[in-house]
Amino acid sequence: MNRRLAAGAAVVGTAAVLTLAGCGADGDDGESSGAGTIGVAMPTESSERWITDGETLESGLEEAGYDVDLRYAGDDTAGFKQADQVQAMIDGGAELLIIAAVDGAGLGDQLEAAAAQNIPVIAYDRLLLDSDGVDHYVTFDNYAVGVAQATSLLRGLGVVDADGEPTGDEGPYNIELFAGSLDDNNAHIFWQGALDTLQPYLDDGVVKVPSGQTDIVQAESWRWSGDLAQDRMSGLLAQFYGDGTTLDGVLSPYDGISRGAITALALDGLGPTIADGMPVVTGQDAEADSVKLINEKMQYSTVFKDTRALADEAVRAAVAYLEGGEPEVNDTGTYDNGVKVVPTFLLDVATVYRRDIDEVLVDSGYYTAEEVDAG
Ligand code: GAL
């Protein structure tokens, strides 16, 4: 992990770190010498991406001269853990909050308290909902993530080519659809991007969903749970594929869900590789365990979001606020949280297929070759 972070800072974060370090040296000594604390609330340590996010934020903020109060909410199964953590950060004198919410609408009281004390709040990757008390949002282009997932599914089926253009293959291919946790705004946007992309092919009958479960509520995996996805996949196989119907593809919005689905598919005797009959399964986050599966030709693709770049962007935004300025934004229209349109900085995403692993993930220093080797 350290090696990865060190390499990441070298590849992606150099400019940011130098700039921020420079700010600290030239700026107000009181703010940049460790006097100010920034609260960083992350949702869970059960997924490696959030650990990387937390560590990159912590090191970037410390480089910029701030103390960091970093807390993980364990996916907040009891319902209040993250709210309590954020409250403790406010009570502890945090000057700014960076929050990746477990439940996007679950921190209303804390955001109100922060606003009352003029504590800027940055929503990190996941939008904070139903509150005035969120000032800025850093995330990836979430609609583009959904489009990328559906496009790679269609590509894996042979329905579109490498440019996303129809090949003329009319199928029909059988697919099943999975969604993330419905209390995470991102799950809805990924779904929208994916369904908009699939819809013409569903309308033409090129792809079909034998279960008929095309509503996001039916497709949900609460808390992005791989175990729940595995259970649902097993149930779908038993109920709709027991008669020998072939399942060709699975739309999965997140690598943990992909691995759950693949486990169920393998237990049902499919595969082991896509060439042997494992359905085409998509993903997101380029988690090492899934990149290994892509190397092994069991998972088809993932969507890589460079969390080092996201953390760097959040650090830049935090420093801008604490030095009395405003952070840069590149989207002022998309992210309505129910109360306000939150000014946003969006980053790009990249679909990763097996052939891209070395160039996109290893050469960039995100992983060492050993970390994602099929072994
Ligand atoms: C989403 C995030 C995804 C994935 C998922 C599960 O909010 O955008 O990249 O990490 O949570 O952790």
Whether residue 43 is preceded by a cis peptide bond, meaning omega within 30 degrees of 0, is no
Torsion of CA 215, 218, 219, 220, to 10 degrees: 120
Q: Are residues 161 and 300 in the same domain?
A: yes
Q: Are residues 100 and 55 in the same domain?
A: yes
Is residue 276 situated within a structural domain? yes
Q: Report which residue type is found at 154.
A: L
Does the beta carbon of 284 lie inside 6 Å of ligand 1?
yes
Q: Is the distance from CB of 46 to CB of 75 less than 8 angstroms?
A: yes
Residue nearest to atom 10 of ligand 1 (CA): 285
User: Residue 97 C-alpha to ligand 1 middle, in angstroms?
Assistant: 19
Q: Are residues 75 and 115 in the same domain?
A: yes
> Tens place of pLDDT for every residue, the chain, 375 residues?
333 333 333 333 333 333 343 333 333 444 444 559 999 999 999 988 999 999 999 999 999 999 999 999 999 766 689 999 999 999 999 999 999 999 999 999 999 999 999 999 999 999 999 999 999 999 999 999 999 999 999 999 999 999 999 999 999 999 999 999 999 999 999 999 999 999 999 999 999 999 999 999 999 999 999 999 999 999 999 999 999 999 999 999 999 999 999 999 999 999 999 999 999 999 999 999 999 999 999 999 999 999 999 999 999 999 999 999 999 999 999 999 999 999 999 999 999 999 999 999 999 999 999 999 866
Does the beta carbon of 155 lie inside 6 Å of ligand 1?
no
- Quote the pTM value: 0.90
Does the beta carbon of 125 lie inside 6 Å of ligand 1?
yes
Q: Are residues 168 and 108 in the same domain?
A: no
Q: What is the CATH number of the domain that holds 124?
A: 3.40.50.2300
pLDDT computed for residue 18 by the predictor: 34
Edge-first strand order for the sheet with 280-281 is 207-208, 173-177, 249-251, 280-281
Q: Are residues 209 and 158 in the same domain?
A: yes
Q: Is the distance from CB of 173 to CB of 159 less than 8 angstroms?
A: yes
Is residue 354 situated within a structural domain? no
User: Residue 91 C-alpha to ligand 1 middle, in angstroms?
Assistant: 28
Q: Are residues 113 and 188 in the same domain?
A: no
Is residue 361 situated within a structural domain? no
